[in-house]
Structure 1
Amino acid sequence: MTPEILARITAARAARDLSDLARQAVGATAETISPSERIVNARRLRKMANDIVDLAVLAEALAGADWREITDALSRLDPGTVEEEYAEAVGEWAAVTESEAETAAAGIEGLDAWYARHREDHDPSAENPVTDLLNRH
């Protein structure tokens, strides 16, 4: 397993967690909580979404995507600045051994099962959207 695939799996886990937290936020809409609690909860969602963006950038960089393309997708101007911002994380993830990646990715079948439980008709029809990553060359 490559560091790129591990980053994609990590992003999938983060997306699952964000989805679960967002669903809980909908369920708590009528709860009586303080304005501060509502704002803190909303900020937690935003932070998780930002983390997913960072993981997507990381996965694309590890896959060899051009920094200009990554920069454009982020609606940023300077590829050098973006590459510099992510350089340390890319280096750390690139240094992950295959054994470490496989250990970190343990249990990914649960992500496929989660997707199957929550999938709606308009969602992608993949049966094993995460474990299929392991079949990529």
Structure 2
Amino acid sequence: MTPEILARITAARAARDLSDLARQALATTAETTSPTERIHAARRLRQMANELVDVVVLAEALGGASWEEITKALGRREPGTVEREFRDDVAEWSRLPEDRMEAAAAGAEDLDQWYARHREDHDPASPSPVSDLLNRR
């Protein structure tokens, strides 16, 4: 297990959670709710999307992507600023002990099953998109 793989599994969990919350928001479209409730729900989706971006950036940094490439992908201008924003997280994840990473990665197969249940015909046909990461080592 590597910190990069753990970050990718964490990103998969975040994507699943964001998808679930978006589906719930769609289901309440016709409900009578206050503007405050609708705005709070939308803000929560945005917050979760930002958290997903952050963990994907972390995974890419841990995987060796350059800060220039990450900065460009984020639509930002200063690689040094982006690197400083993520430096502590990259260092912390890089120091995670193997047993803690293994424990945190548990449940990858559950994410595969979630994907299989929600997969649409136009989605990639991958039977184990998350647990396949565990074979990378």
Q: Which amino acid aligns with 1:118?
A: H
Counterpart of 1:48?
48
Helix, strand or coil for the counterpart of 2:33? coil
Distance 1:80 1:124 in 2: 35
Counterpart of 1:89?
89
Deviation at 1:135, TM superposition (A): 1.1
Distance 2:105 2:134 in 1: 10
Q: Which amino acid aligns with 1:21?
A: L
Distance 1:116 1:82 in 2: 35
Question: CA RMSD, aligned part only?
Answer: 0.6
Output the TM-score relative to the length of structure 2. 0.98
Counterpart of 1:116?
116
Counterpart of 1:4?
4
Q: Which amino acid aligns with 2:74?
A: L
Instruction: Give the percent of matched residue pairs that are identical in Structure 1 and Structure 2.
Output: 69
Q: Which amino acid aligns with 2:96?
A: V
Q: Which runs of 5+ in 2 are unaligned?
A: none
Distance 2:131 2:107 in 1: 10
* Count of aligned pairs between the two proteins: 137
Q: Which amino acid aligns with 1:64?
A: G
Deviation at 1:45, TM superposition (A): 0.2
Output the TM-score relative to the length of structure 1. 0.98
